[in-house]
Amino acid sequence: MIPSSTSAAERLFAGRAAPRRAMPVAGAACLAAILACAASALAETAAAPSAPAPAIAPGAPVPSAPVGWRAPAELKVGITPNYPPLAFEREGRIVGVEPDLAEAIGRQLGSKLVLVPLAWEDLLDALSAREIDVVMSGVSVTDRRKRTVAFTRPYLAIGQMVLVRSDDLARLGAPDALDRTGVRVGVQRLTTGAGYARTELPKATIVEFGSADSGIEALREKRIDAFVHDAPTVWRLTGRFDTDPSRGLAGLYRPLTKEDLAWAVRKDEAGTLGAALDAALAKISADGTLEQVLDRWITVRKVAIGAPELAPATQSK
């Protein structure tokens, strides 16, 4: 439940973790269809093919913008560059999954997509004020957000994952290990991870933090036993996106929830720009560009040993 004092932007964006830094880059069970992990395999990294969310369902018509509509020469893309590997700063540039996809989409639309770095909580307001044209910033699709913006088709299925200390893999690696009395599970407040923990882990002691980084530090200092957050956070710490990825943490690459990532446009442009983005997404999905981008940035994989039991992403009310 979001406090009544929470801002409108925070309520709408509560499904994704709040930004780790106010600004200036940017779902968490990765690729839910293929990422399941037995406890005995949790410590072993192995190659497994990535599987982006299907841009078009089999047999569905290929989307297209209205006849005669053309994308403008320049489109402003709102992005929060503090969320590796989706979007982050490297040597003065914003890089990652979203910037690469923006470039590919721009080629399909014949437009120049200009990245506009903004704080996470400012993205929707900027879109509403027409300061930007589209949000490409690791946004999870939720019913609450659908009331305010229109979403394109999803480009990636993610969800929540768990971080533990490497020394605790044997103790906490089993699927039900977290939901036990005495186990301290950290979450970031106002996120789907927090919602999941409170709903699905009633026996555990839930500890809230104001940011992902503070929760991760508490895990390292043994003030909590596990930290639930979205896949990009786990990728950052275990996939060479963190400055020191080897500091004794391990990801449990077993999906806890399923969430779809998509791009947001204004509702009155769902049938024009939104449809054009869908058509462009379908093309880069069909020609392999989407998968190439995901493979380039999402380097952490696990062998699939069975279909995971997924809980729906808990949406704040």
Residue linked to tokens 């493979």: 295
pLDDT (0 to 100) of residue 10 = 43
CA of residue 285 relative to chain centroid, distance: 18
- Angle (CA) 222-234-253 rounded to 5° is 100
How far is it, in rounded angstroms, from Cα 260 to Cα 159? 8
pLDDT (0 to 100) of residue 241 = 53
pLDDT (0 to 100) of residue 255 = 78
Residue linked to tokens 């533990």: 164
CB 219 within 8 A of CB 14: no
pLDDT (0 to 100) of residue 66 = 77
Furthest C-alpha separation in the chain: 62
Domains observed in the chain: 68-157+261-300 (3.40.190.10), 160-257 (3.40.190.10)
pLDDT (0 to 100) of residue 24 = 36
Ordered mean pLDDT values, 10 residues apiece, the chain (317 residues): 37 44 36 31 30 56 76 96 88 95 96 94 94 94 91 91 92 91 93 90 96 91 95 75 63 84 96 95 94 84 40 46
Burial grade of 219 (CB within 10 A; 0-12, 13-18, 19 or more): buried
pLDDT (0 to 100) of residue 275 = 95
Interhelix angle for 212-220 vs 231-238, to 10°?
50
pTM of the model: 0.70
